[in-house]
Amino acid sequence: MKKPYRYETAVWADVPEELKTIALNARETRRGVYIHGSVGSGKTHVAYAIAEHLGQNFVDYVAFWNTTELFAEMKKDFDKRRAHYEYETTIDRLLELKSTLFLDDIGAEKPSEWVMEQLYLLVNRRYERGYITFFTSNLTISELSEKLGDRTASRIAEMCEIYSLTGADRRITAAKARKN
């Protein structure tokens, strides 16, 4: 898995010990992790470190999507599918994906009915089949429930360990350090 430029430095050593244990047990427990915390607390950084470690050591394939980008890609698929009836869309591929999936920044997307329906469809498929999914969010599960609906949040809560990542905004801290 190629990490984006901003997360190239994310490594397994950056992952809190409790989160390492949960991630390493995911194949056995069939449970992912819902990592939530404030903006800049390092959720995406830690998620990329976990994804890379799992992909290099334990699973054949790891998919990583920022949810807002995922929905933008899914909207592009409409035009492609109209032009090519047999075109396999992003949601088609994700619905059949058995490998570990990381959905980053869930709850950041604008919660239209279509977004809520597609997200429920994806989460429910992975929930029913016991596919391991990791999530990051600025929202607690109860806040996610308010934003995206009880059904989706309830399934995420059952299919994941809930982990709160605390700390100062890493981006602001780094910016201040560069100025000094």
Q: Which residues pair with 136 in a beta bridge?
A: 35
Contacts of 96 (CB under 8 A, 6+ apart): none
pLDDT at 83: 56
**pLDDT higher than 90, residue 143:** yes
pLDDT tens profile 83-142: 555 556 777 777 787 889 999 999 998 889 988 999 999 999 999 999 999 999 999 999
CATH of 33-175, one of 1.10.390.10, 3.40.190.170, 3.40.630.30, 3.40.50.300: 3.40.50.300
Contacts of 31 (CB under 8 A, 6+ apart): 22, 25, 132, 159, 160, 161
Q: What is the model's pTM?
A: 0.88
Distance CA 15, CA 47 (A): 8
pLDDT at 110: 86
User: Where do the domains of the chain lie?
Assistant: 33-175
Q: pLDDT band for 79, please (50, 70, 90 cuts).
A: low
